[in-house]
Amino acid sequence: MIARHQQILTDMLTLPTAPFVERYVLDYLERFCAKRPALTTRSDRHGNLLVSLRRGRRTQSAPITLAAHLDHPGFVAERMTGNGVLGAAWRGGVLADYFPGGRVRFFVDGRWVRGRIKTVHKVKGEPSRVERVEVTVAEPIPRGTPGMWDLPDPRVRGRRIGARACDDLAGAAGMLCALDALCRRRGAVAIDCLFTRAEEIGFIGAIAACRSGLLARNARVIAVECSSELPGAKMGQGPILRVGDSATVFSATLTATCRNVADALGRSNRSFRYQRKLMDGGACETTAYRAYGRESTGICLALGNYHNMNRRTGKIASEYIDLDDFDLLVRWFIALATTGTPSRKDASTTLRQRIDANYRRLKRYL
């Protein structure tokens, strides 16, 4: 991996975030773009950010849009209740059994303030879901401060990197690394990168981007995720082209386009590898984009300790991904932006041509 790309990944995985409190990540993105004049940015009134790179003439009907969310399940400070106790909302999907006595941290004025969960309040009628907590803290925490599990900054062990939040800061970091590489290259390129908010509580940012018009109606969207490692979708075997999630099946044509680009990469460089799987461990933003009429599919990285839940120990732990998978993901994004991605019709024609060739070869046996 290029050293500056590993630094971008490490920077992103260090940032505090929670649903609706993504300001520190957005600040990082704005600084990143400001250093690269070739990039243009546009936001909607909901705080979603669209970053675009255009250079040279393109023949495709609409550029690929990579999309990643900037939040991770976390806490949001509400109010101090006296005796060093903070009331905080919980936002995201972590089972209630992981909360009692848990160690947490809140990001205040550029530093972390640690605490421990004292009381857990569950969602009425849903004993596995947490609504809010009370946390003992050493000093007052301002309202609206983001909180996360008290886990270490990013650590590299072998070919894996662990962090408080890989989902989906690693996906967003992969998009930034691709933009960084593309800005340094010559030649034609066309790519959009959409960074959304509040995915963890129902794709709120993605829906807002569709409704606000920030995401064009003819956009072809590849949602970028970190998705829980599943049997047959193993970490270290390359990034994963998703054919669907637990809610929907993705666009066949756009999925085929991603596959064609990946296959071409593999033919030109044997070190490139990828997987193609149904990742039905949960739903992702692709489902929202499809519901709002956008052609969409997904690419993800296999993730360990999904949402910080170590199922083996039953305790909170760092998420982790494979660094080789991440590097290959960036290379895939670069290829999607530079290879003259075919139109919807072209991708369908390629598939039809392959099928027809096989038919002509074997039809005499009918």
CATH assignment at residue 226: 3.40.630.10
Residue 84: domain span: 74-149
In a domain, 204, yes or no: yes
| Final residue in a domain of this structure, among 101, 134, 149 | 149
State the pLDDT at residue 169. Answer: 98
φ, ψ (nearest 5 deg) of residue 210: -70, -45
Residues 186 and 66 in one domain: yes
State the pLDDT at residue 67. Answer: 98
Residue in the block written with tokens 């649903």: 19
Closest to 225 measured CA to CA, from 208, 200, 207: 200
**Structure tokens that stand for 11 in this block:** 């920077």
pLDDT in tens, the chain (366 residues): 799 999 999 999 999 999 999 999 999 999 999 999 999 999 999 999 999 999 986 545 678 999 999 999 999 999 999 889 999 999 999 999 999 999 999 999 999 999 999 999 999 999 999 999 999 999 999 999 999 999 999 999 999 999 999 999 999 999 999 999 999 998 899 999 999 999 999 999 999 999 999 999 999 999 999 999 999 999 999 999 999 998 999 999 999 999 999 999 999 999 999 999 999 988 899 999 999 999 999 999 999 999 999 999 999 999 999 999 999 999 999 999 998 555 555 555 666 888 898 989 999 999
Residues 257 and 160 in one domain: yes
In a domain, 354, yes or no: no
Residues 99 and 218 in one domain: no
Domains identified in the chain, total number: 2
Residues 21 and 90 in one domain: no
State the pLDDT at residue 347. Answer: 58
Evaluated on CA atoms 309, 314, 320, 325, the torsion sign reads negative
State the pLDDT at residue 348. Answer: 59
In a domain, 357, yes or no: no
DSSP 270-339: TT---EEEE-TTS--HHHHHHHTT-EEEEEEEEEBSGGGEETTTTEE--EEEEHHHHHHHHHHHHHHHHT
Distance of alpha carbon 30 from the chain centroid: 18
